[in-house]
Amino acid sequence: MTTVVLAAGGAAWEPSVLATLESARDVEVVRRCVDVAELVAVTSARSPQVAVVAAGLPGLDLDVVRRVASSGAAVLAVGDVTKAQSVGITWTVPPEQVLSAVRSSAATDAEPPREVGSVPTGRLLGVWGPAGAPGRSVVAQALAADAASHGARVVLVDADVQGGVQAQLLGLLDEASGLVAACRDANRGALELDRHVLPVDPGLGLLSGIARADMWSQVRLPALERVLEAVRGGSDVGVVDLGPGLDPGGAGRGPHVVTHHVLEAVDDLVVVGRADPTGIARLVRSLHDLREVPVPPPWVVLNRVRRSVGWDVADLARTVQETSGHAVAAALPDDPGTLDAAARTGRTALRVNRSSSFVRAVRGLTAHGGASRV
Ligand X SMILES: Nc1ncnc2c1ncn2[C@@H]1O[C@H](COP(=O)(O)OP(=O)(O)O)[C@@H](O)[C@H]1O
Q: List residues binding Mg ion (CB under 5 A).
A: 136-137, 160
Give which of 163, 167, 184, 183 is closest to 229, Cα–Cα: 183
Answer yes or no whether residue 137 interacts with ligand X by CB under 6 A.
Answer: yes
Q: Which residues pair with 31 in a beta bridge?
A: 5
336 binds, among ligand X, Mg ion, none (CB under 5 to 8 A by kind): ligand X
Cα dihedral sign for 335, 341, 344, 350?
negative
Closest CB 248 distance from Mg ion, rounded Å: 21
Measured from the CB atom, the residue of 33 and 242 that comes closer to ligand X is: 242
Q: Is 339 in the site for ligand X (CB under 6 A)?
A: yes
Name the minimum Å distance from CB 284 to ligand X. Answer: 16
Of 185 and 335, nearer to ligand X (C-beta) is: 335
- Out of 30, 125, 138, 237, name the contact with ligand X by CB under 6 A: 138
- Residue 358 in the binding site for ligand X (CB under 6 A): yes
* Cβ(335)–Cβ(70) below 8 Å: no
Min CB(216)–ligand X separation in Å: 16
> From ligand X, Mg ion, none, which one binds at residue 135 (CB under 5 to 8 Å depending on kind)?
ligand X
- Does residue 343 bind ligand X (CB under 6 A)? yes
Half-sphere exposure of 286 (CA within 13 A, CB side): 28
Closer CB to Mg ion, 171 or 325, in the complex: 171
Per CB under 6 A, which of residues 279..308 are in contact with ligand X?
303-304
- Residue 184, classed as helix, strand or coil, is helix
Kindly state the smallest distance separating residue 143's Cβ from Mg ion, in Å: 13
Which of Mg ion, ligand X, none lies near 14, with the C-beta cut-off 5 to 8 A by kind? none
Taking the least distance from each CB to ligand X, the nearer of 90 and 137 is 137
Q: Please identify, using beta-carbon distances, which residue of 32 and 285 lies nearer to Mg ion.
A: 285
Question: Residue 133, interface with ligand X (CB under 6 A)?
Answer: yes
The DSSP H or E segment spanning 205 is strand 204-207
Contacts of 314 (CB under 8 A, 6+ apart): 80, 81, 82, 83
Q: Which is nearer to ligand X, 51 or 301 (CB)?
A: 301
- Helices 178-187 and 221-234 meet at what angle, rounded to 10? 100
* Binding range to ligand X, per CB under 6 A, among 53-61, 129-137, 185-193, 245-253: 129-137
Q: Which of residues 153-172 bind ligand X (CB under 6 A)?
A: 165
Alpha-carbon Rg for the chain, nearest whole angstrom, is 20
Q: Give the amino acid at 118.
A: S
- Which CA distances in Å does 145 have to 111, 159, 198, 237, 239? 20, 17, 14, 11, 10
**In the bound complex, what is the minimum distance in angstroms from residue 129's beta carbon to Mg ion?**
9
Site for ligand X in 62-121 (CB under 6 A): none
- CA 133-314-277 angle, to 5 degrees, is 40
Cβ nearer to ligand X, comparing 136 with 196? 136
State the angle between helix axes of 313-324 and 277-290 in degrees (0 to 180), rounded to the nearest 10.
Answer: 30
Question: Does residue 47 come out as left (phi exceeding 0), alpha (psi in the -120 to 50 range) or beta?
Answer: left
Does position 135 bind ligand X by CB under 6 A?
A: yes
Least distance between Mg ion and beta carbon 180 (Å): 17
Give the C-alpha distances (Å, rounded to integers) separating 329 from 272, 312, 357, 361.
Answer: 10, 15, 17, 12
Give the x-and-dash track for 206-235 against ligand X (CB under 6 A): ------------------------------
Nearest residue (CB) to ligand X, 86 versus 168 = 168
Q: What's the closest the beta carbon of residue 351 comes to ligand X, in angstroms?
A: 15
C-alpha–C-alpha distance, residues 341 and 349, integer Å: 8
Question: How many chain residues are in contact with ligand X, going by CB under 6 A?
Answer: 17
Phi, psi angle pair for 283, to nearest 5°: -60, -45
| Smallest gap from residue 133 Cβ to ligand X (A) | 4
Query: What is the per-residue DSSP string for 257-299?
Result: HHHHHHHHH-SEEEEEEESSHHHHHHHHHHHHHHTTS--PPPE
Binding positions for ligand X, rule: CB under 6 A: 129, 133-138, 165, 303-304, 332, 334-336, 339, 343, 358
